[in-house]
Amino acid sequence: MYVAISISEEDVALIMGRRFQKAYPDALQSAHCPRCRKVDNATITVDQLWLNPAGDVLVEGKCEHCGGPLDKLIETGVEPRQYDQAMAIREYKIEVSKDYEVKR
3-state secondary structure of 15: helix
> Binding residue for Zn ion (CB under 5 A) from 28, 44, 63, 89?
63
27 binds Zn ion (CB under 5 A): no
> Considering only 14-22, 29-37, 71-79, 86-94, which stretch makes contact with Zn ion by CB under 5 A?
29-37
Q: Return the number of other C-beta atoms located less than 10 Å from residue 61's C-beta.
A: 18
DSSP assignment of 56-81, as one string? -EEEEEEETTT--EEEEEE-GGGSHH
Confirm or reject binding of residue 35 to Zn ion (CB under 5 A). Answer: yes
Q: In angstroms, what is the minimal distance from the CB of 56 to Zn ion?
A: 23
Return the number of the residue (37 or 98) whose C-beta is nearest Zn ion.
Answer: 37
Chain positions contacting Zn ion, by CB under 5 A: 33, 35-36, 63, 65-66, 68
